[in-house]
C-alpha cells in the first residue's frame, strides 16, 4: 500500500467537489484544529483521530476472522514526515488446515499538503509466505528491495507512484474538508498504483454506548478492488465501522477484544448450497447447466462466451453456463498480442513471468510448439501433475509456488498464468465458484480460482483439476484475485437447478 516518489515530481492535485454539511460540532472541532495547525501541514494531520492508533475486529458473515490496526501521525523527531501504519491479522480454518496471515505496511510521506511518499516497508508473514519489501524514492522512480528467508535479496526498480499523503487516510481528509477527494494508492501486494476516491455522504445517527449520536459517513472506492467501502467516523475521529459489502465488516473494539478470534471454517461458511446436484451434462465437454440465482447484482451479469444472463420477472436471474473447446479455425500461433492492450502479458512482482526460473521452465514445457492452445495444454497439465494439492499452504508469488511445488487453486492458477505469459500467451486468473460435493454430501458451489488464456480466442482452463477446458460447473464473477467478489460472499443464492 505504499511506495516512494521522485522527490522533484509534481504533486498530483486533489479533486474536490461539494458535499453535504457536516455536524456543527465536527465543523467547530475541525476549525479549532486548523487554527492550531500550521497551514503548511497536510489535512491528514489536522483531522481528529485516536492517539496511539485504533483496533477493529474483522468479521465475515458475523464470524470474526481477524483484526486490523491503523495509526497515522508525525514521525518522532521529524516534523516534516508523516508515518502511516496499517496491519491486517487473519486466522481461519481452510479445509483441514489452520491458515494464519499477517500483513503490515508502514509508509513515510512528506508532511506538507500533497506530500509525496518517500519510503515504505511491507511485511508479510504466515500463510502466503514470509517476505519484506523495503521501498525508497530514487531519481527515476522507486527502488524496492525484496527480502525472503534463505534467499538472496532482490532489487526491483519501478516507476514512481502518484500516491500522496492525503491518500493515506482519504476518509478523514474528506470528512474534515466536507468535500470529496480523489487520488491514488499503491497496492501492498502487487505494488501497482490504482486510482482511489472517497465521497462524503450525509451524516447519520448511530447508537453508541446506548446513546444516539451523529456520525460522519464516507464511501471509498479503489480502481483495483472495485468494492465500495463505507466508513462511519465519530466526531472525535474514532473509526466506528467499515463495511465491505453486506457480509464483511470491521468494527471498532478494544485491543484485547479485537484480538479474540472465532475459529471459522471458511469453506463451509462461504459456500453456496444448491437445492439439488448438478446434472451430468454440466461436467461434460461440450456441456451446459442452467441455474436460477438470487442476490446477483446487475454489474456481475456480463454476457460472455461461457455465461449468459436472463432477468426473471420476480427479480431472480437465470444463468446459463456452458463449456466447449476453442474453435480449431480460430487457434493461432504464439507469441500472441493481447487483445486487451497488453495487461494480460504483463510481468509483476506476483506474476513474475520475466523471472529466469519461470522462463526456463516455460521453455522446457513448450519447446518449439507454435500452436498456442497446444502449448497452453502442456502448461496446464504440468502444473496439475507437479503441484501437490495442499489447502492452506499458500504462496503469493509465482517463484515461491514453483519452489515449494504445493498449494491450493490460487497457487495452481498463479503459476499457470506466469508460465503462459512467459510463453507469449495472454492469460489471467478468474475468480468464482465451482461445483463440488464434499464429505457431508451437500451439493454446493465453493469459491475457487482458475485461468483464462487467449489462444486465438479466449478459453478457460482449470489447472487445479487438470481441465484443459474448464467445464460448465465453473461460474466466474471476477478477475485477478481482486476483492470485487466480496459482496457476493454469504449473499449469493441458487434457488433452482435446471
pLDDT tens, residue by residue, 174-231: 999 999 999 999 999 889 999 999 999 999 988 766 778 889 999 999 998 888 999 9
Task: Mark the ranges of the chain whose per-residue pLDDT is less than 70.
Answer: 1-39, 95-96, 208-209, 391-393, 481-483
Determine the pLDDT at residue 482. Answer: 60
Q: Are residues 59 and 144 in the same domain?
A: yes
Question: Are 475 and 341 found together in one domain?
Answer: yes
* Pair (109, 33) in one structural domain: yes
Q: Based on the fold, state whether residues 314 and 224 are members of the same structural domain.
A: no
Question: Considering the domain boundaries, does residue 233 fall inside one?
Answer: yes
Q: Are residues 145 and 202 in the same domain?
A: yes
pTM above 0.75, yes or no: yes
SS3 content of the chain, % helix, strand, coil (to 5): 20, 40, 35
Is residue 427 in a domain? yes
Q: Give the torsion sign (CA, 73, 76, 77, 83).
A: negative
Beta strand 248-252 with 54-60 is antiparallel
> Going by DSSP bridges, is the β-strand pair 287-294/317-323 parallel, antiparallel, or unpaired?
antiparallel
* Residue 149: Cβ within 10 Å count: 8
Is 19 inside any structural domain? Answer: no
Report CA 229 to chain centroid distance, whole Å: 13
The answer to whether 288 touches 281, Cβ cutoff 8 Å, is yes
CATH number at residue 246: 2.50.20
- Of the CA atoms within 13 Å of residue 308, those in its CB half-sphere come to 8
pLDDT (tens digit, 9 = 90+) per residue, 302-351? 999 999 999 999 989 999 999 999 999 999 999 999 999 999 999 998 99
Q: Looking up cell 461434460, which residue turns up?
A: 284
Q: Does residue 215 share a domain with residue 243?
A: yes
SS3 assignment, position 378: helix
Residues 177 and 287 in one domain: no
Q: Which of 226, 258, 290 delimits the end of a domain? A: 258
Q: Is residue 4 part of a domain?
A: no
Domain count, the chain: 2
DSSP for 299-338, written as a single string:
GG----SSEEEEE-TTS-EEEEEEE-PPPGGG--BSS---
If asked whether residues 282 and 318 sit together in one domain, one would say: yes
- Residue 109: give the domain boundaries: 24-258
Last residue of a domain, one of 233, 258, 283: 258
With respect to residue 2, please indicate whether it lies within any of the assigned structural domains. no
pLDDT at position 408 is 87
Between CA 79 and CA 85, with CA 116 as vertex, the angle to 5 degrees is 65
Of the residues 258, 293, 320, the one at which a domain ends: 258
Tell me what pLDDT residue 132 has: 96
Q: Establish if 7 belongs to a structural domain.
A: no
Amino acid at each position: 500500500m505504499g511506495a516512494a516518489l521522485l522527490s522533484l515530481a509534481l504533486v498530483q492535485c486533489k479533486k474536490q467537489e461539494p458535499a453535504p454539511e457536516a455536524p456543527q460540532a465536527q465543523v467547530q472541532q475541525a476549525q479549532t484544529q486548523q487554527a492550531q495547525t500550521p497551514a503548511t501541514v497536510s489535512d491528514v494531520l489536522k483531522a481528529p483521530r485516536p492517539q496511539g492508533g485504533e483496533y477493529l475486529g474483522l468479521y465475515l458473515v458475523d464470524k470474526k476472522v481477524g483484526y486490523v490496526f491503523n495509526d497515522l501521525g508525525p514521525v518522532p523527531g521529524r516534523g516534516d514526515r508523516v508515518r502511516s501504519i496499517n496491519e491486517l491479522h487473519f486466522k481461519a480454518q481452510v479445509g483441514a488446515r489452520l491458515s494464519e496471515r499477517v500483513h503490515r505496511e508502514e509508509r513515510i510521506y512528506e508532511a506538507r499538503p500533497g506530500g509525496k511518499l518517500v519510503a515504505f516497508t511491507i511485511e508479510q508473514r504466515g500463510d502466503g509466505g514470509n517476505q519484506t519489501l523495503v521501498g525508497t524514492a530514487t531519481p527515476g522512480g522507486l527502488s524496492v528491495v525484496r527480502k525472503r528467508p534463505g534467499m538472496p535479496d532482490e532489487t526491483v526498480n519501478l516507476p514512481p507512484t502518484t500516491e500522496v499523503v492525503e491518500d493515506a487516510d482519504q476518509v478523514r481528509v474528506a470528512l474534515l474538508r466536507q468535500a470529496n477527494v480523489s487520488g491514488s494508492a499503491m497496492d501492498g501486494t502487487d505494488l501497482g498504483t490504482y486510482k482511489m476516491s472517497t465521497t462524503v455522504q450525509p451524516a447519520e445517527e448511530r447508537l453508541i454506548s446506548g446513546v444516539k449520536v451523529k456520525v460522519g459517513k464516507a464511501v471509498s472506492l479503489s480502481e483495483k478492488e472495485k468494492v465500495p467501502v463505507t466508513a462511519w467516523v465519530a466526531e472525535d475521529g474514532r473509526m466506528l465501522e467499515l463495511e465491505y459489502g453486506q457480509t464483511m465488516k470491521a468494527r471498532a473494539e478494544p485491543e484485547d477484544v479485537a484480538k479474540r478470534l472465532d475459529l471459522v471454517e471458511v469453506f463451509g461458511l462461504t459456500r453456496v448450497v444448491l437445492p439439488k446436484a448438478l446434472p451430468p451434462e454440466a461436467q461434460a465437454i461440450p456441456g451446459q447447466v442452467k441455474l436460477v440465482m438470487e442476490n446477483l447484482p446487475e454489474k456481475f451479469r456480463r454476457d460472455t462466451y461461457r455465461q449468459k444472463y436472463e432477468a426473471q420477472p420476480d427479480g431472480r436471474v437465470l444463468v446459463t453456463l456452458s463449456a466447449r473447446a476453442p474453435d480449431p479455425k480460430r487457434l493461432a500461433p504464439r507469441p500472441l498480442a493481447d487483445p486487451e492492450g497488453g495487461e494480460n502479458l504483463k510481468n509483476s512482482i506476483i506474476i513474475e513471468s520475466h523471472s529466469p526460473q519461470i522462463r526456463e521452465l516455460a521453455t522446457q514445457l513448450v519447446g518449439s510448439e507454435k500452436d498456442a492452445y497446444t502449448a497452453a495444454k502442456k502448461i496446464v497439465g504440468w502444473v496439475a501433475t507437479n503441484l501437490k494439492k495442499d489447502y492452506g499452504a499458500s504462496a503469493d508469488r509465482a517463484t515461491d509456488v514453483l519452489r515449494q511445488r504445493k498449494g491450493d487453486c490460487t497457487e495452481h492458477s498463479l503459476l499457470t498464468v506466469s508460465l503462459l505469459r512467459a510463453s507469449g500467451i495472454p492469460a489471467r486468473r478468474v475468480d468464482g465458484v465451482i461445483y463440488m460435493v464434499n464429505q457431508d454430501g451437500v451439493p454446493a458451489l465453493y469459491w475457487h480460482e482458475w485461468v483464462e488464456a487467449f489462444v486465438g480466442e479466449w478459453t478457460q482452463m482449470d489447472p487445479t483439476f487438470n481441465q484443459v477446458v474448464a467445464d460448465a460447473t465453473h461460474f466466474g464473477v471476477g478477475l485477478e484475485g481482486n476483492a470485487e467478489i466480496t459482496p457476493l460472499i454469504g449473499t449469493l443464492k441458487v434457488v433452482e437447478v435446471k
